[in-house]
Structures are given as C-alpha cells and as structure tokens.
Structure 1
C-alpha cells in the first residue's frame, strides 16, 4: 500500500470525528454518541499509526525498535471494542443489560490491550520491520503470542458483530437495515484481514513462507474494511437526517409556485422576512408556509365559491380525478382572488359565496403540509394520466354525471391540446352561475381561473 492509502482514510475519519464532536456538548452525552466517537477516533488513529512513515517516526522518537507494532495492535483492539460496545448500545434493551454487556466487552479487550505491551517487553525484536513484523517474528517467543492474541481478539469481534448484524437485519428496515448490510460487508473484509494475517503466521510455523498474504493482501482489506465499517455505523445516524433535509428542500421548492402567486406585488407595502443563506432548510420551509398561510388569510374577502365550482366541474370534464379536481377548483378560486385584489376590485359583495369559498379553502387544505403542497401543484398542468382517452368521449349518455355533449367534448379536446387545466365555460354554465340567488349588482364570477393561473405560473 502507498502512504496515501493510510493517510487519506485518517483525514476522512478525523473529519467525521470532528463533525460529531459537538454532540457531546449538548447536555449529558448519549452512550451511543460516545461509542460512535470512540469508533471514529480509534479508526483514525489505527490508520495513522499503521502508516510506514509514522512507524519510523515513532520508533525514532521513542528509541525502541518496533514499538509501533504493539501500539498499532492496541489501537486495533480498542477499535474492535468500540465496535462491540456500539452494537450493544445500538440494539437497545433494558439499561442494566446494556451496561452489563458493555462492561463485559470493555473488560475483555482491556485485558487484551494490557497483555500486548507485556508480551512485547518479554520478547526480543532487534530488527526494525515496517511491513512484515507479524511474519518476520512469527516464531519468536512471546512475540508469537502477541501477534496471535491481537489477531484472535480482532477475529472474535468481527465474528460476533457479523452474527448479531445478520440476525438484527431481518427485524428492521430502511436506513437501519442498509447500515447493517454495509456493516456486514465491512466485517467480512475485517474477517478476511484477520484470517489472511493468521494464515501467513501459521504458514511460517510450518517452515514455509506466504508473507504476501500479510504484506500485500491484508493491508488493503483492513483499509477498505475500516472505512466500510465506519460508513455502516454512520448511515443509520446520518441517513434519516439527510432524508429529512432532502424532504424539506423538496417541499420548499414545490411550494414555490403557490408563493410566487401569493407574494406581495412590488407596490404593496408588506414586510417579508429575509432569510440568511446559511439558514437550514426546515427554517426556510417553515417561514414560507407561514407567509403562504398569512396571504391566504388576507385573501378571504376576495374568495368566490362560484369560481371554485366552475373550475371544479371543468376539471372533472377534462378527466381529472375527484381529488385533483377539488384542488384545482380551490387553486382557481385563489388565483381569481389574487387577480381581484391586485386589480383593486372590491371584495366580493356576496357574503354567502365569500364564506362558502373560505370554508372550501379551509376544508381542502386541512392540517399538515402535504395539502398545501398539492395546492401549489394544482397551479400547474393536469398530469397526463388524469385525462381519459379521447375516443371514449361518446360512451356516456347525456344527462348522466360526467356525460358529454359535442360542445363540451370539443372544449375538452381544446384543453388537452393546450396542455393545461384550462376550462372554457359554456353559455349555459355561465347562466347557471348567475342564478336568481345572486343579488342584483353582485359581481360576476371571477375570470377564467385557468387562464389566470396559467399566465402567472408559467
């Protein structure tokens, strides 16, 4: 391996460690947060001290030949312990059981880490070996035991965590399952690293030589396995946050059409808060939602339910679903109200139609964010799948709901050709809108909402 193959993972893991470090300062640290930090820190140290230039520097500074070997092995055991403790905390359960299991693994690996320096002091390693320490001293008393001890501890951690992750992956889903699958891949690489090293040592015991397994095959497996393991542990922690961030940006963008329709014109004196560029997506989305609700509230005196009904019937006529037609009718009413307000028209003089429009708007939006997003989407064209095939225009008899006359079929065909939810009410439909219930002198229903919405949204 090249020196960069050690230092690049070191930098990446250290950046991840620094990014997670602020979580410790937020009150009492979570045991899982501490385990993640220990995992990232030990993994970064392991790559750093295993690099040949670092090995040379440590040996020179301390004046002890091959001191880097037990140092790296101790860090690797600490990494294995951090993996076990994180798995225990990750799975959850009664607090006392988690604490007991964590202490068991910490004690086990603590004993191993304490034994490694003792075995190194008892052994004799006069020749400095930067890459093949394991195989070169495979038959040296006490050093042989040192190498086998750290390899067995490493393999035990990889086997136990692999079994636990495979069992657990069957019972969970989404990000946690994906993280466990990535963990199993990293643990498999770790197992391959341990077995490659151990095989090379055992071959040395038989008098043969297979050092390439230890010097050429095992180090790349360790590097790839360490990075894969770290990614597997971080995915369930960072994945949901990234998904929530993406969802917020998507909703923010989808509300853009509605906000562009409602936002105050340049001449209107109304303060719109300025959001700094570093503001999080959730804050931007909350501010945009609040502004839209405020503008819809100001529009209530201009709402006219007759416009909504006409647009609703027209949308049904060109093949929209019931839900889409209802939202289209509300969108048309909102667009007509915006046009009336901007043109300086007086609020609707018919209080009954105004209140009916406000009730329809409230009922169609309801609680939550999704319906507001759908209202914004209704300002665009109807999706192609909402349209019925043109060759079935004459299948329905006259007089039934949804029945089509030749004039209506022609108008719907025009709407499809124009590629929008445009509607053109017939003379009879306009006459019905001006029913005897409409007071004399009341304003006629608002302009064709399709044309207004089309002009403003496109």
Structure 2
C-alpha cells in the first residue's frame, strides 16, 4: 500500500476536527472566560485534531528525525491522545454539573490520573528498547517488548476508560434533551462507541501477538479508518447543535423575509422612501428593515383603517369555512387594501388643496402576524375579489371615525 493511501485516515479527520474548531471559534472567543464548557470543547477539538496531525506516518518520521531518537514520536502522539481522553472526561463532568466543589474535585482527580498516565508513558518509553523505527505497526511490532508492552497497554487503557465513560454518560442524556442538541449527542455517542471499537481492534491485535498469533492487519489497516470515522462523528456531534440552530434561524428569517415581500410591496405607495441597505447586509438586518417598513406603513394607514371593512371581511371568510386565524389574516389584508385605496384618494385630494387627515388617537397597535397577512395579500381569493370591486365593503363615514381603529 502506497503512502498516499494513508493520507485518508489521517488528514481528512484532522481537517474535519479543525473545521469544527473554526466553526465554534466565535462562540469560544465570546464565552471563553465565563463558560468552562466552551474551553473544554475547544481543547478537546484541538487535541483531537492534533492526534491525527501528529499520527501521520510522514509526521512521525519527521519527529523521529528531528529528535534523533528512534520512535520518539510514539510517546508524543500517545501523550496528545491521553490528554484528549482527559478532556473528554472533564467535558462530561462539567456537562453533568452539580455541586461546584464536587465538579472541581473530580476535575482535579482526572487531571492527576491522566498526568500520571502521561508520566508513565514517558517513563516506560525511556526504559524500553525500540531501535527499529516503525511508522505504521509500532503497537504490534513491539507488543512483546519489555516496557514498550506496558507503554502500549497504558495508552490503550486510558483511551478505553475515557471513551466508555463519555459514551455512557452522554447516552443517559439522550432522553433528557431534544432537537439539535439531541441529534448532536447521538452523533457523539456513536463516535465514542466507535472509539471503543478502535481500542478493541488494537487490543485484539496486541493480545494476538502475546499469544503467538499474527493479527497485525487489524492494527495497521483496520484501526486507522475506524479512527477516521470516529473523528467525523465526534466533530459533527459538537458542531451540529450550534450549526443546526444557526441554519434553522437563517431559514426561518429567509422564509419570513420572502413571505413579507407582498406586504412590503403593498405598502410601497404609503412609504416609498425606504433606506437601502448595503449589498452585504445580513439577512437578519434586511428582515428587521422590512418589518420596520411595514410597521411604519401601517402607522401611516391608521387614519384610513375602517373596522367595518375588517369585520365584514372576517365574517365572509368564516362563512367560507376558513379557520379563525386564517380568516383574521384575510380580514386584516382586506382592511389594509381598503385603507391604501382611501389613502391614495386622500392624497389626490390633498394635492388639490384638501387638508391632511388628523392623526389617530391613541397608540397604534402592531399586526399580530405580519407573515399571515402578507400571505393573504398575495394568495387570498377574497383579497383578489376585493381588489376587483369598484366599491369597497363600506366607505368610511369620516376619517375621524375610522382614525381610532387599529389592526388587531
């Protein structure tokens, strides 16, 4: 197998974990000092990606060459992996919460245990005799070598314990959460279960060596792809809740922005002087501007809104078996169309010297559901029929009488 084939099990998961870190970076910068969970997840993603960056055969060879010590890269990579395990445990401890004193005490114990494991890794490597450089099969090649045997067993044991605890604790939370968080936790459970599978494959190959059998292919060719898949699930598990909620908000904003287009176009005759936003303005900012324009237009229409028009339209919509909510939106839309017609007539009269209408008394109220009214303006047959009529349901007796009526 060529060296290019080994890029896939290492570089792709490293890049995915790095991307996950980059996606969460704005949140980590914002809450780094006040939320330990943010720090834990950030450290976990950095260490996880470091395992794959350092674990590449090419990187291992470089570390060995620079250090001048054969297989010096082994304790380096296994140290990063052990610290990753400690980060997993600290993360679940903080996620579980509880008494702050107990959380700090448990975190301290985890730190001591895994620091001792790191010291053990370097101690056993210093005592081991590993003269032959092995970039892809070190675990099985030196599985029966004194002290290197303990070195390999120590990192596998630390990794297995961390993955078992993390997977079991995360599994217990699945029934307590919902939505994107539940989906993310599910991916994390799968990822850490696959990590347990990785440890099982490695241990099987090592124990086979102890018993005189040869299952080295499990450690050399099966374990790296399994680790790659683990990284994909773990990275997706951490990113999905944050990215999913962001995408959901973006989609909701997009749907609202499009749905309110008919309302904004309808009110353009009332307030045509809209402030144009820069092309790079965010969708949320554009949505706020559109809603503001609609509310400003409705405020100007308040003197022309006739409650009798709304009441008649609502009764007719109910008679057509529309639901109360839909009938209310239809009635509001008809009232707006009638008010715009009155506004246009009054504007023509003022241009001929007529006085402007008096401002409505009291505070104007906002339409409860702008999106529903906007859809009625575009799709409702009742609104289309009203537009086609030459005479409205009821002409306002006077502007002053209708002035106090607001959209409700």
Is TM (by shorter chain) over 0.5? yes
CA RMSD of aligned residues (A): 3.1
Shift in Å, 1:245: 2.7
Aligned pair 1:11/2:9, yes or no? Answer: no
The counterpart of 1:297, out of the listed 289, 299, 311, is: 299
Q: 1:92 to 1:261 in 2, by over 3 A?
A: farther
Shift in Å, 1:253: 2.1
State the distance in 1 between where 2:296 and 2:282 align: 22
Shift in Å, 1:158: 1.0
Shift in Å, 1:59: 1.2
State the distance in 1 between where 2:108 and 2:243 align: 27
Report the equivalent of 1:65: 70
Report the equivalent of 2:174: 169
State the distance in 2 between where 1:160 and 1:432 align: 70
Whose helix fraction is larger, Structure 1's or Structure 2's?
2
Contact kept? 1:88, 1:101, Cα under 8 Å: yes
Shift in Å, 1:273: 2.6
Aligned pair 1:218/2:223, yes or no? Answer: yes
Aligned pair 1:362/2:374, yes or no? Answer: no
Contact kept? 2:312, 2:393, Cα under 8 Å: no
Contact kept? 2:163, 2:195, Cα under 8 Å: yes
Question: Structure 2 stretches of 5 or more lacking a match?
Answer: 403-408
Report the equivalent of 2:283: 281
The counterpart of 1:201, out of the listed 206, 215, 218, is: 206
Per the alignment, in what secondary structure is the counterpart of residue 3 of structure 1? Answer: helix
Aligned counterparts, 1:417-432, within 5 A: 422-423=384-385
Counting matched residue pairs gives 389
Shift in Å, 1:130: 1.0
State the distance in 2 between where 1:67 and 1:238 align: 39
Report the equivalent of 1:395: none
Contact kept? 1:308, 1:330, Cα under 8 Å: yes
**Greater RCO, 1 or 2 (C-alpha within 8 Å, sep 6+):** 2
Aligned counterparts, 1:179-194, within 5 A: 179-194=184-199
Report the equivalent of 2:406: none
Contact kept? 1:315, 1:421, Cα under 8 Å: no
Between 1:275-284 and 1:168-177, the stretch displaced more is 275-284
State the distance in 2 between where 1:90 and 1:242 align: 24
State the distance in 2 between where 1:372 and 1:51 align: 56
State the distance in 1 between where 2:251 and 2:372 align: 18
Report the equivalent of 1:21: 25
Aligned counterparts, 1:3-402, within 5 A: 3-26=7-30, 28-264=33-269, 270=273, 272-343=274-345, 344-346=347-349, 362=365, 365-366=367-368, 371-382=369-380
Shift in Å, 1:72: 1.1
Report the equivalent of 1:449: none
Shift in Å, 1:8: 2.4
Q: 1:424 to 1:376 in 2, by over 3 A?
A: closer
Deviations 1:125-169 (A, max 9, x none): 111111100000000000000000000111101111111111121
Contact kept? 2:20, 2:235, Cα under 8 Å: no
State the distance in 2 between where 1:188 and 1:78 align: 19
Shift in Å, 1:208: 1.0
* Structure number with larger C-alpha Rg: 1
Shift in Å, 1:282: 2.8
Shift in Å, 1:170: 1.8
Between 1:185-194 and 1:29-38, the stretch displaced more is 29-38
Per the alignment, in what secondary structure is the counterpart of residue 2 of structure 1? Answer: helix
Contact kept? 1:125, 1:137, Cα under 8 Å: yes
Contact kept? 2:9, 2:227, Cα under 8 Å: no
Contact kept? 2:260, 2:374, Cα under 8 Å: yes
Contact kept? 2:259, 2:375, Cα under 8 Å: yes
